[in-house]
Structure 1
Amino acid sequence: MSKTVTPFSGQLITFSTSVPFAEVTARLEAAVHKPAASAQWFPTMRAAKSKEDVAKGLHDIIGDDDFIYFLQLPHNWVNFYKPGTGSVVVYVIGNPVIAQTMMVEDIRASFNIPPRVLVVEKENGAGTEVHYHLPSAVYAISDNAALKAAAESLDGKLEALIRKVISESPDSSSL
Protein backbone atom coordinates (compact mmCIF):
# COMPACT_ATOMS: atom_id res chain seq x y z
CA MET A 1 0.00 0.00 0.00
CA SER A 2 1.15 3.51 -0.70
CA LYS A 3 -0.21 6.96 -0.07
CA THR A 4 0.59 10.10 -2.02
CA VAL A 5 -0.33 13.63 -1.04
CA THR A 6 -0.49 16.03 -3.98
CA PRO A 7 -0.79 19.65 -2.89
CA PHE A 8 -2.68 22.05 -5.08
CA SER A 9 -4.28 25.40 -4.57
CA GLY A 10 -7.54 26.64 -5.94
CA GLN A 11 -8.97 30.02 -6.76
CA LEU A 12 -12.48 31.00 -5.76
CA ILE A 13 -14.07 33.38 -8.25
CA THR A 14 -16.80 35.67 -6.92
CA PHE A 15 -19.09 37.90 -8.95
CA SER A 16 -21.45 40.32 -7.24
CA THR A 17 -24.51 41.96 -8.77
CA SER A 18 -27.54 43.98 -7.74
CA VAL A 19 -29.73 41.62 -9.79
CA PRO A 20 -32.10 39.76 -7.43
CA PHE A 21 -31.41 36.13 -6.56
CA ALA A 22 -34.62 34.88 -8.21
CA GLU A 23 -33.70 36.60 -11.49
CA VAL A 24 -30.11 35.29 -11.46
CA THR A 25 -31.24 31.72 -10.79
CA ALA A 26 -33.97 31.95 -13.44
CA ARG A 27 -31.44 33.21 -15.99
CA LEU A 28 -28.92 30.52 -15.06
CA GLU A 29 -31.52 27.77 -15.28
CA ALA A 30 -32.59 29.04 -18.71
CA ALA A 31 -28.98 29.32 -19.91
CA VAL A 32 -28.18 25.73 -18.92
CA HIS A 33 -31.46 24.39 -20.31
CA LYS A 34 -32.77 23.10 -16.98
CA PRO A 35 -36.28 22.06 -18.15
CA ALA A 36 -35.05 20.05 -21.15
CA ALA A 37 -31.98 18.73 -19.37
CA SER A 38 -33.99 17.55 -16.37
CA ALA A 39 -36.26 15.50 -18.60
CA GLN A 40 -33.86 14.30 -21.29
CA TRP A 41 -30.21 14.22 -20.19
CA PHE A 42 -29.97 11.15 -17.97
CA PRO A 43 -32.11 8.95 -20.25
CA THR A 44 -29.95 10.13 -23.16
CA MET A 45 -26.76 9.14 -21.32
CA ARG A 46 -28.17 5.75 -20.29
CA ALA A 47 -28.99 5.01 -23.93
CA ALA A 48 -25.67 6.26 -25.32
CA LYS A 49 -23.48 3.59 -26.93
CA SER A 50 -20.68 5.83 -28.25
CA LYS A 51 -19.07 9.24 -27.94
CA GLU A 52 -21.08 10.24 -31.01
CA ASP A 53 -24.30 9.38 -29.15
CA VAL A 54 -23.17 11.55 -26.22
CA ALA A 55 -22.33 14.49 -28.49
CA LYS A 56 -25.58 14.20 -30.44
CA GLY A 57 -27.70 13.87 -27.31
CA LEU A 58 -26.00 16.87 -25.78
CA HIS A 59 -26.44 18.96 -28.94
CA ASP A 60 -30.11 17.96 -29.16
CA ILE A 61 -30.64 19.53 -25.72
CA ILE A 62 -28.29 22.55 -25.64
CA GLY A 63 -27.59 23.28 -29.29
CA ASP A 64 -24.37 25.27 -29.59
CA ASP A 65 -24.37 26.42 -25.95
CA ASP A 66 -21.57 25.34 -23.64
CA PHE A 67 -23.36 24.05 -20.55
CA ILE A 68 -26.13 21.71 -19.50
CA TYR A 69 -27.90 21.48 -16.15
CA PHE A 70 -27.24 18.36 -14.09
CA LEU A 71 -28.66 19.12 -10.65
CA GLN A 72 -28.98 21.66 -7.89
CA LEU A 73 -28.52 21.52 -4.14
CA PRO A 74 -30.51 24.11 -2.19
CA HIS A 75 -28.91 25.05 1.12
CA ASN A 76 -31.73 27.16 2.54
CA TRP A 77 -31.64 24.94 5.64
CA VAL A 78 -28.72 27.10 6.80
CA ASN A 79 -31.41 29.59 7.89
CA PHE A 80 -32.24 27.21 10.76
CA TYR A 81 -28.75 27.80 12.13
CA LYS A 82 -28.18 31.39 11.02
CA PRO A 83 -31.50 33.20 10.64
CA GLY A 84 -31.45 35.90 7.99
CA THR A 85 -29.25 33.95 5.63
CA GLY A 86 -30.61 34.51 2.15
CA SER A 87 -31.37 31.83 -0.37
CA VAL A 88 -28.42 29.61 -1.28
CA VAL A 89 -28.19 27.02 -4.05
CA VAL A 90 -25.35 25.07 -5.64
CA TYR A 91 -25.81 24.23 -9.32
CA VAL A 92 -23.92 21.39 -10.95
CA ILE A 93 -23.51 22.18 -14.64
CA GLY A 94 -21.19 20.92 -17.31
CA ASN A 95 -20.60 19.51 -20.73
CA PRO A 96 -19.26 15.97 -21.22
CA VAL A 97 -17.73 16.86 -24.57
CA ILE A 98 -15.72 19.64 -22.91
CA ALA A 99 -15.05 17.52 -19.81
CA GLN A 100 -13.50 14.67 -21.77
CA THR A 101 -10.84 17.04 -23.14
CA MET A 102 -9.50 17.28 -19.58
CA MET A 103 -10.36 13.86 -18.19
CA VAL A 104 -8.48 11.99 -20.93
CA GLU A 105 -5.37 14.01 -20.02
CA ASP A 106 -5.57 13.34 -16.27
CA ILE A 107 -8.43 11.31 -14.83
CA ARG A 108 -7.91 13.06 -11.48
CA ALA A 109 -9.53 16.14 -13.02
CA SER A 110 -12.76 14.15 -12.68
CA PHE A 111 -12.72 14.87 -8.98
CA ASN A 112 -13.87 18.44 -9.69
CA ILE A 113 -15.76 17.82 -12.92
CA PRO A 114 -18.48 18.92 -13.53
CA PRO A 115 -18.15 22.49 -12.25
CA ARG A 116 -20.32 23.72 -9.43
CA VAL A 117 -21.73 27.24 -9.19
CA LEU A 118 -22.80 28.63 -5.81
CA VAL A 119 -25.51 31.31 -6.00
CA VAL A 120 -26.08 33.28 -2.78
CA GLU A 121 -28.68 35.91 -2.04
CA LYS A 122 -27.07 38.96 -0.44
CA GLU A 123 -28.19 40.17 2.95
CA ASN A 124 -31.59 41.87 2.89
CA GLY A 125 -32.10 40.72 -0.70
CA ALA A 126 -29.71 43.42 -1.95
CA GLY A 127 -28.59 41.36 -4.92
CA THR A 128 -26.70 38.17 -5.56
CA GLU A 129 -23.21 36.71 -5.37
CA VAL A 130 -22.09 33.91 -7.66
CA HIS A 131 -19.05 31.81 -6.71
CA TYR A 132 -17.16 29.03 -8.45
CA HIS A 133 -13.73 27.43 -8.42
CA LEU A 134 -11.58 28.48 -11.34
CA PRO A 135 -11.39 25.27 -13.41
CA SER A 136 -7.74 25.70 -14.41
CA ALA A 137 -6.77 26.06 -10.76
CA VAL A 138 -8.44 22.85 -9.58
CA TYR A 139 -8.45 20.60 -12.66
CA ALA A 140 -4.86 21.03 -13.84
CA ILE A 141 -2.94 19.55 -10.91
CA SER A 142 -0.13 18.26 -13.11
CA ASP A 143 2.21 19.89 -15.62
CA ASN A 144 0.16 18.56 -18.53
CA ALA A 145 0.00 21.38 -21.12
CA ALA A 146 -3.04 19.97 -22.95
CA LEU A 147 -4.98 19.69 -19.69
CA LYS A 148 -4.02 23.23 -18.70
CA ALA A 149 -5.09 24.60 -22.09
CA ALA A 150 -8.44 22.79 -21.96
CA ALA A 151 -9.09 23.97 -18.40
CA GLU A 152 -8.18 27.56 -19.30
CA SER A 153 -10.63 27.39 -22.20
CA LEU A 154 -13.28 26.26 -19.72
CA ASP A 155 -12.34 29.19 -17.45
CA GLY A 156 -13.41 31.57 -20.22
CA LYS A 157 -16.62 29.71 -21.03
CA LEU A 158 -17.70 29.59 -17.39
CA GLU A 159 -16.92 33.26 -16.83
CA ALA A 160 -18.88 34.21 -19.96
CA LEU A 161 -21.89 32.24 -18.70
CA ILE A 162 -21.78 33.89 -15.27
CA ARG A 163 -21.33 37.39 -16.70
CA LYS A 164 -24.35 36.75 -18.93
CA VAL A 165 -26.64 35.64 -16.10
CA ILE A 166 -25.65 38.42 -13.68
CA SER A 167 -25.63 41.25 -16.20
CA GLU A 168 -27.40 44.35 -14.97
CA SER A 169 -28.23 45.45 -18.53
CA PRO A 170 -31.85 44.86 -19.56
CA ASP A 171 -31.08 42.86 -22.72
CA SER A 172 -29.53 39.99 -20.75
CA SER A 173 -32.89 38.96 -19.35
CA SER A 174 -33.81 37.43 -22.71
CA LEU A 175 -31.56 34.40 -22.26
Structure 2
Amino acid sequence: MEFTSRRITYDTPLPIAEVIARLDKEVNKAGGGPEVTRLLSTAKTRAELESGMDNLVGDRNFVYFAGMAYHNWLNAYHGTADTPQTYAYIFGNPLIAQTMLKYDLNVALHVPLKIVIVERLDGSGTRVAYDDPASVIAVPKASGLGLDPELTKAAEALSQKLETLIQTITRAD
Protein backbone atom coordinates (compact mmCIF):
# COMPACT_ATOMS: atom_id res chain seq x y z
CA MET A 1 0.00 0.00 0.00
CA GLU A 2 1.25 3.47 -0.84
CA PHE A 3 0.40 6.82 0.71
CA THR A 4 1.69 10.35 0.42
CA SER A 5 3.32 12.20 3.27
CA ARG A 6 3.16 15.96 3.72
CA ARG A 7 6.57 17.54 4.49
CA ILE A 8 6.38 20.82 6.41
CA THR A 9 9.23 23.31 6.68
CA TYR A 10 9.64 26.43 8.73
CA ASP A 11 12.31 28.99 7.92
CA THR A 12 13.45 31.48 10.51
CA PRO A 13 16.11 34.17 10.59
CA LEU A 14 17.07 32.93 14.06
CA PRO A 15 20.52 31.37 14.35
CA ILE A 16 20.54 27.62 14.81
CA ALA A 17 21.94 27.93 18.34
CA GLU A 18 18.84 29.91 19.38
CA VAL A 19 16.44 27.43 17.74
CA ILE A 20 18.21 24.50 19.43
CA ALA A 21 18.21 26.26 22.82
CA ARG A 22 14.48 26.91 22.53
CA LEU A 23 13.81 23.34 21.44
CA ASP A 24 15.91 21.93 24.29
CA LYS A 25 13.81 23.91 26.74
CA GLU A 26 10.48 23.00 25.13
CA VAL A 27 11.19 19.25 25.14
CA ASN A 28 13.02 19.16 28.49
CA LYS A 29 16.19 17.78 26.95
CA ALA A 30 18.00 18.09 30.29
CA GLY A 31 15.46 15.86 32.05
CA GLY A 32 14.54 13.56 29.16
CA GLY A 33 16.59 11.02 27.22
CA PRO A 34 17.70 8.25 29.57
CA GLU A 35 15.02 9.18 32.09
CA VAL A 36 12.27 8.55 29.51
CA THR A 37 13.79 5.19 28.62
CA ARG A 38 14.02 4.25 32.30
CA LEU A 39 10.40 5.22 32.94
CA LEU A 40 9.05 3.36 29.91
CA SER A 41 10.99 0.22 30.74
CA THR A 42 10.28 0.10 34.48
CA ALA A 43 6.76 1.51 35.02
CA LYS A 44 4.33 -1.18 36.12
CA THR A 45 1.04 0.70 36.16
CA ARG A 46 -0.85 3.32 34.21
CA ALA A 47 -0.67 5.66 37.20
CA GLU A 48 3.09 5.26 37.39
CA LEU A 49 3.44 6.00 33.66
CA GLU A 50 1.16 9.01 33.82
CA SER A 51 2.83 10.45 36.90
CA GLY A 52 6.31 9.91 35.48
CA MET A 53 5.44 11.46 32.13
CA ASP A 54 3.70 14.40 33.79
CA ASN A 55 6.92 15.05 35.74
CA LEU A 56 9.05 14.87 32.58
CA VAL A 57 6.75 16.91 30.34
CA GLY A 58 5.68 19.49 32.91
CA ASP A 59 3.42 22.10 31.36
CA ARG A 60 4.51 21.22 27.82
CA ASN A 61 3.46 18.48 25.40
CA PHE A 62 6.68 16.64 24.63
CA VAL A 63 9.87 15.30 26.14
CA TYR A 64 13.26 14.60 24.53
CA PHE A 65 14.11 10.99 23.67
CA ALA A 66 17.32 11.20 21.59
CA GLY A 67 19.13 13.18 18.95
CA MET A 68 22.05 13.26 16.57
CA ALA A 69 24.33 15.89 15.07
CA TYR A 70 24.59 14.85 11.42
CA HIS A 71 27.12 17.50 10.45
CA ASN A 72 29.77 16.00 12.76
CA TRP A 73 29.84 12.59 11.17
CA LEU A 74 29.25 13.89 7.63
CA ASN A 75 32.27 16.18 7.94
CA ALA A 76 34.34 13.29 9.29
CA TYR A 77 33.19 10.94 6.56
CA HIS A 78 33.81 13.37 3.71
CA GLY A 79 36.92 14.97 5.23
CA THR A 80 35.30 18.40 5.15
CA ALA A 81 34.33 21.08 7.61
CA ASP A 82 31.58 22.83 5.65
CA THR A 83 28.48 20.72 6.24
CA PRO A 84 25.83 23.03 7.69
CA GLN A 85 24.95 22.27 11.29
CA THR A 86 22.24 19.61 11.06
CA TYR A 87 20.47 18.00 13.99
CA ALA A 88 17.78 15.36 14.22
CA TYR A 89 15.66 15.32 17.36
CA ILE A 90 13.44 12.48 18.50
CA PHE A 91 10.84 13.42 21.06
CA GLY A 92 7.27 12.71 22.00
CA ASN A 93 4.88 11.79 24.74
CA PRO A 94 3.68 8.21 25.30
CA LEU A 95 0.46 9.57 26.81
CA ILE A 96 -0.31 11.25 23.49
CA ALA A 97 0.98 8.28 21.48
CA GLN A 98 -1.41 5.87 23.19
CA THR A 99 -4.36 7.90 21.89
CA MET A 100 -3.38 6.64 18.41
CA LEU A 101 -1.69 3.31 19.15
CA LYS A 102 -4.94 1.96 20.57
CA TYR A 103 -6.37 2.14 17.03
CA ASP A 104 -3.34 0.97 15.06
CA LEU A 105 -0.02 -0.34 16.38
CA ASN A 106 1.62 0.69 13.10
CA VAL A 107 1.51 4.22 14.53
CA ALA A 108 4.74 3.16 16.28
CA LEU A 109 6.45 3.75 12.93
CA HIS A 110 5.96 7.48 13.51
CA VAL A 111 5.95 8.05 17.26
CA PRO A 112 8.00 9.30 18.88
CA LEU A 113 8.26 12.22 16.48
CA LYS A 114 11.35 13.25 14.54
CA ILE A 115 12.34 16.68 13.23
CA VAL A 116 15.42 17.98 11.43
CA ILE A 117 16.99 21.36 12.19
CA VAL A 118 19.40 22.68 9.53
CA GLU A 119 21.51 25.82 9.51
CA ARG A 120 21.31 27.83 6.30
CA LEU A 121 24.51 27.57 4.26
CA ASP A 122 25.12 31.31 4.51
CA GLY A 123 24.44 31.32 8.27
CA SER A 124 21.45 33.65 7.85
CA GLY A 125 18.99 31.46 9.72
CA THR A 126 17.59 28.02 10.27
CA ARG A 127 15.15 25.61 8.67
CA VAL A 128 13.09 23.10 10.65
CA ALA A 129 11.47 20.23 8.75
CA TYR A 130 9.19 17.35 9.64
CA ASP A 131 6.63 15.06 8.09
CA ASP A 132 3.13 15.96 9.23
CA PRO A 133 2.12 13.22 11.68
CA ALA A 134 -1.49 13.21 10.47
CA SER A 135 -0.31 12.48 6.92
CA VAL A 136 1.70 9.40 7.93
CA ILE A 137 -0.33 8.11 10.88
CA ALA A 138 -3.91 8.39 9.65
CA VAL A 139 -3.62 6.08 6.65
CA PRO A 140 -5.81 3.12 5.68
CA LYS A 141 -4.76 -0.22 7.16
CA ALA A 142 -5.13 -1.84 3.74
CA SER A 143 -5.95 -0.88 0.17
CA GLY A 144 -9.58 0.03 -0.29
CA LEU A 145 -10.23 0.71 3.40
CA GLY A 146 -11.19 4.14 4.64
CA LEU A 147 -9.55 6.10 7.41
CA ASP A 148 -10.43 5.42 11.03
CA PRO A 149 -12.12 8.67 12.14
CA GLU A 150 -10.91 8.38 15.75
CA LEU A 151 -7.32 7.72 14.68
CA THR A 152 -7.54 10.64 12.24
CA LYS A 153 -8.80 12.93 15.00
CA ALA A 154 -5.99 11.89 17.37
CA ALA A 155 -3.32 12.23 14.65
CA GLU A 156 -4.59 15.70 13.73
CA ALA A 157 -4.40 16.72 17.39
CA LEU A 158 -0.77 15.54 17.47
CA SER A 159 -0.04 17.49 14.28
CA GLN A 160 -1.43 20.65 15.89
CA LYS A 161 0.70 20.18 19.01
CA LEU A 162 3.80 19.68 16.87
CA GLU A 163 3.04 22.73 14.74
CA THR A 164 2.62 24.84 17.87
CA LEU A 165 6.00 23.62 19.14
CA ILE A 166 7.74 24.42 15.84
CA GLN A 167 6.14 27.88 15.72
CA THR A 168 7.35 28.50 19.28
CA ILE A 169 10.98 27.59 18.53
CA THR A 170 11.17 29.42 15.18
CA ARG A 171 9.29 32.63 16.03
CA ALA A 172 11.50 35.65 15.53
CA ASP A 173 10.55 37.91 18.44
State the TM-score, normalizing by the size of structure 1: 0.89
**Residue 29 (1) aligns with residue 24 (2):** yes
CA distance in 2, matches of 1:158, 1:33: 15
Q: Which residue of 2 aligns with 1:172?
A: none
CA distance in 1, matches of 2:66, 2:48: 21
Q: Which residue of 2 aligns with 1:12?
A: 7
Deviation at 1:51, TM superposition (A): 2.0
CA distance in 2, matches of 1:119, 1:14: 10
CA distance in 1, matches of 2:94, 2:33: 16
Q: Letter of the aligned partner of 1:42 in structure 2?
A: T
**Residue 75 (1) aligns with residue 70 (2):** yes
Q: Letter of the aligned partner of 1:111 in structure 2?
A: L
Give matches, 1:64-143, under 5 Å. 64-76=59-71, 77-79=73-75, 80-81=77-78, 84-142=82-140, 143=147
Deviation at 1:39, TM superposition (A): 5.0
The percentage of aligned residue pairs carrying the same residue is: 34
**Residue 158 (1) aligns with residue 162 (2):** yes
Does the 8 Å contact 2:11/2:125 carry over to 1? yes
**C-alpha deviations, 1:99-148, integer Å up to 9, x for none?**
01111111111111111010000012111000001000001112100110
RMSD: 1.4
CA distance in 1, matches of 2:155, 2:37: 25
**C-alpha deviations, 1:75-117, integer Å up to 9, x for none?**
1123354753210010001000000111111111111111101
Q: Secondary structure at the match of 1:15?
A: strand
CA distance in 1, matches of 2:171, 2:110: 26
CA distance in 1, matches of 2:112, 2:33: 16
Structure 1 unaligned spans of 5+:
1-5, 170-175
**C-alpha deviations, 1:20-69, integer Å up to 9, x for none?**
00110111011100011135222222220022211110101121310000
State the TM-score, normalizing by the size of structure 2: 0.90
Quick check: 44-53 or 54-63, which moved more?
Answer: 44-53
Structure 2 unaligned spans of 5+:
141-146
CA distance in 1, matches of 2:158, 2:132: 9
Q: Which residue of 2 aligns with 1:173?
A: none
Aligned length, in residue pairs: 164
Deviation at 1:73, TM superposition (A): 1.6
Does the 8 Å contact 2:7/2:130 carry over to 1? yes
CA distance in 2, matches of 1:73, 1:158: 19
